[in-house]
């Protein structure tokens, strides 16, 4: 089996809404309907709902939330889902729109169907880059799914919490023994130690809540 990651720069209203800003669209599910239309469920992170979203949609409904704005609806497709279906690919969600483009993740049973998928996608879209890897075990597929869902698990974090927990992780604050101190992290963000610790603890709790259910 082959896992394909492909990033497309297209004219889709969702990708256009992420141009020149730090927002992201997380597409948690999409279904290819007849007449080149897709129904989808998606979340907008880091930006307010605007008219750009509506351009490709025949129906759309927004549901505002604390951490993200969800929207569901039916929109004009750009032949990517059709290409996945026709080539025999299996979509792996979420798909992500950012920096004016969209990233798609697809599993294929063999290399020939994967190359066919790329060929069909490129007929109506500009592929900026793609990558693929051979997958030989169920554990590998599970790791891929976990990594893809990381973006969903991070949705509840505020931008500040995300930046600080990423710094804490990358700099070794969460290692044992620690290779950086709380003082160092607080200084990098020009905040007090108690404030830095509060952001780290809040981020840890939100991330753990995605994996540990309350009973």
Q: Looking at the structure, do residues 113 and 196 belong to the same domain, yes or no?
A: no
Q: Looking at the structure, do residues 165 and 148 belong to the same domain, yes or no?
A: no
Domain carrying residue 200: 159-209
Q: Looking at the structure, do residues 31 and 81 belong to the same domain, yes or no?
A: yes
Q: Looking at the structure, do residues 121 and 201 belong to the same domain, yes or no?
A: no
Mean pLDDT on 47-65: 79
User: In the prediction, which pLDDT does 145 show?
Assistant: 83
Residue 215 belongs to some domain of the structure: no
Residue 214 belongs to some domain of the structure: no
Q: Which DSSP string do the residues of 112-174 spell out, in sequence order?
A: HHHHHHHHHHHHHSEEEEEEEEE--SHHHHHHHHHHHTHHHHTTTS-HHHHHHHHHHHHHTTT
SS (H, E, C) 18-67: CCCCCCEEEEEEEEECCCCEEEEEEEEECCCCCHHHHCCEEEEEEECCCC
Residue whose C-alpha is closest to residue 65's, from 147, 148, 149, 152: 152
Q: Looking at the structure, do residues 79 and 176 belong to the same domain, yes or no?
A: no
Q: Looking at the structure, do residues 168 and 123 belong to the same domain, yes or no?
A: no
User: In the prediction, which pLDDT does 17 show?
Assistant: 82
pLDDT in tens, 70-83: 899 999 888 899 99
Considering 105, 122, 153, which residue would you say is the last residue of a domain?
153
Work out the pLDDT band at 35, boundaries 50, 70, 90: low
Phi, psi of 41 (to 5 degrees): -125, 130
112, two tokens: 């020939």
Residue 84 belongs to some domain of the structure: yes
Q: Looking at the structure, do residues 46 and 146 belong to the same domain, yes or no?
A: yes
The label of the residue with tokens 């129906």 reads: 59
Mean pLDDT on 33-57: 78
Tell me how many domains the chain contains.
2
pLDDT in tens, 171-195: 999 999 999 999 999 999 999 999 9
Residue 171 belongs to some domain of the structure: yes
pLDDT in tens, 140-159: 888 888 888 777 777 778 88
Q: Looking at the structure, do residues 26 and 53 belong to the same domain, yes or no?
A: yes
User: In the prediction, which pLDDT does 153 show?
Assistant: 74
Q: Looking at the structure, do residues 106 and 192 belong to the same domain, yes or no?
A: no
The label of the residue with tokens 């605007």 reads: 50
* Residue partners of 141: CB distance under 8 A and separation at least 6: 1, 3, 107, 135
Q: Looking at the structure, do residues 171 and 126 belong to the same domain, yes or no?
A: no
Q: Looking at the structure, do residues 94 and 32 belong to the same domain, yes or no?
A: yes
Q: Looking at the structure, do residues 70 and 85 belong to the same domain, yes or no?
A: yes
Considering 113, 134, 153, which residue would you say is the last residue of a domain?
153
């Amino acid at each position: 089996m082959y896992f394909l990651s492909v990033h497309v720069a297209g004219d889709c209203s969702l990708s256009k809404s992420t141009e020149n800003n730090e927002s992201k669209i997380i597409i948690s599910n999409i279904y290819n309907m007849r007449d080149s239309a897709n129904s989808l469920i998606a979340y907008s992170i880091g930006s307010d709902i605007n008219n750009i979203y509506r351009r490709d949609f025949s129906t759309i409904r927004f549901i505002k939330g604390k951490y993200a704005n969800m929207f569901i609806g039916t929109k004009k497709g750009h032949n990517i889902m059709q290409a996945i279906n026709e080539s025999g690919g299996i979509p792996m969600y979420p798909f992500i729109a950012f920096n004016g483009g969209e990233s798609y993740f697809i599993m294929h049973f063999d290399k020939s169907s994967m190359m066919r998928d790329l060929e069909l996608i490129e007929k109506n879209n500009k592929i900026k880059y793609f990558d693929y890897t051979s997958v030989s075990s169920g554990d590998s597929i599970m790791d891929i799914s976990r990594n893809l869902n990381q973006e969903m698990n991070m949705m509840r974090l505020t931008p500040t919490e995300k930046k600080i927990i990423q710094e804490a992780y990358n700099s070794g604050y969460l290692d044992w023994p620690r290779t950086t101190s709380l003082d160092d992290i607080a200084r990098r963000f020009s905040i007090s130690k108690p404030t830095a610790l509060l952001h780290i603890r809040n981020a840890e709790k939100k991330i753990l809540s995605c994996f540990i259910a309350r009973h």
